[in-house]
């Protein structure tokens, strides 16, 4: 079966990842785009879901690539039209909205897939397998990049609900929540917010184990690094094993020796999984990375920093 899909929100991530991967996947056929400003070549484009519905174009599913703040209402509208949903990360601005979206999809008997693209490579899967049954007592996440390179001109990221530096930081947390054998929890955070923004440009976070056992668990996110990207996760266990994920989780070192280097096909794998979920009529919604971000904001101490220009 070929699923007829529309992409909603035709910004950078849709253009760079979703559209090319849909074109390569035989399980999907792009039938429409939805955006108030952008267009897609060779398919009809509309300014709203309502206009798409009124066009009578047959649609099976929708990929929501809009900013998170507007997704719940759009998701409900799409579900009311009988369409299945894939949602880009971060899925929603709050955990409550994600849970409400999941419940509504269940009520409408539609598939809802909340995709966390950084989880999709073999190095991450190998790290998860290596850590199974081990007691983690060390975690150091460094996720640093240049906001001007990765989010050029995107003002929504600085508005309430836009996540700020937690937009890339949640990628790291999506890996951490997948591979750790036990959940961790936010303990404290320092969050740097530019004087002319509502969301952070940097954050330093301390985590804790749920059982209260001593552990050194931390993360540093920063959007001001202009000398290339640092996307790394270091993990240590009580029995002396060390893991080091580099390059966004694609390269894995175990005890100092390279164990695997993945060829990244994150969005290709996302659409392969979406096809499987659609065929099986199953949803996949994991709120744990979003929950960690929410808890960091709840427990974080805001620090005002210079304006972002």
Q: Point out the residues that are catalytic.
A: 89
Using the structure block, give the residue that is written with the tokens 């009529």.
281
Using the structure block, give the residue that is written with the tokens 């409900």.
76
What residues contact 109, with CB distance under 8 A and at least 6 apart?
Answer: none
Listed in sequence order, the DSSP H helices in 7-70 are: 12-13, 19-24, 49-54
CB 140 within 8 A of CB 177: no
CA distances, 183 to each of 108, 175, 210, 211, 227 (Å): 31, 12, 7, 10, 33
- What is the radius of gyration, based on Cα positions, of the chain? 20
Tokens in use for 158? 């600085």
Partners of 139 in beta bridges = 217, 235
Per-residue buried b or exposed e for 134-166, using 16+ beta carbons within 10 Å of the residue's own CB: bebbebebbbbbbbeeebeeeebbbeebbbbbb
The C-alpha atoms of residue 113 and residue 87 are separated, in whole angstroms, by 6
Tell me how crowded residue 45 is: count the other CB atoms within 10 A of its CB: 17
Using the structure block, give the residue that is written with the tokens 């893991």.
243
The C-alpha atoms of residue 197 and residue 157 are separated, in whole angstroms, by 9
């Amino acid at each position: 079966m070929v699923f007829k899909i529309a992409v909603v929100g035709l910004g950078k991530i849709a253009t760079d990842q979703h559209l090319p991967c849909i074109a390569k996947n035989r399980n999907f056929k792009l039938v429409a785009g939805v955006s108030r400003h952008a267009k897609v070549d060779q398919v009809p484009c509309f300014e709203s879901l309502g206009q798409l519905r009124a066009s009578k174009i047959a649609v099976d599913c929708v990929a929501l690539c809009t900013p998170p703040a507007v997704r719940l209402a759009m998701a409900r509208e799409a579900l009311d039209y009988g369409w299945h949903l894939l949602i880009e990360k971060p899925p929603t601005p709050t955990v409550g909205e994600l849970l409400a979206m999941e419940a509504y999809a269940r009520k409408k008997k539609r598939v809802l897939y909340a995709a966390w693209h950084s989880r999709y490579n073999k190095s991450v899967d190998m790290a998860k397998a290596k850590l199974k049954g081990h007691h983690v007592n060390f975690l150091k996440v460094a996720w640093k990049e240049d906001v001007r390179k990765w989010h050029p001109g995107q003002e929504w990221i600085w508005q309430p609900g836009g996540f700020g530096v937690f937009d890339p930081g949640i990628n790291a947390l999506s890996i951490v929540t997948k591979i750790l054998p036990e959940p961790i929890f936010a303990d404290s955070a320092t969050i740097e917010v530019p004087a002319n923004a509502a969301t952070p440009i940097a954050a330093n976070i301390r985590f804790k184990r749920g059982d209260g056992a001593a552990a050194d668990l931390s993360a540093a996110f920063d959007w001001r690094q202009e000398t290339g990207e640092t996307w790394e996760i270091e993990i240590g266990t009580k029995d002396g094993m060390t893991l080091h994920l580099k390059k966004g989780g694609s390269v894995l070192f175990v005890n100092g020796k390279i164990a695997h280097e993945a060829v990244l096909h994150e969005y290709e794998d996302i659409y392969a999984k979406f096809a499987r979920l659609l065929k099986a009529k199953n949803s996949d919604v994991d709120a744990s990375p979003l929950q960690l971000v929410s808890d960091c904001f709840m427990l974080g101490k805001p620090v005002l920093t210079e304006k972002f220009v």
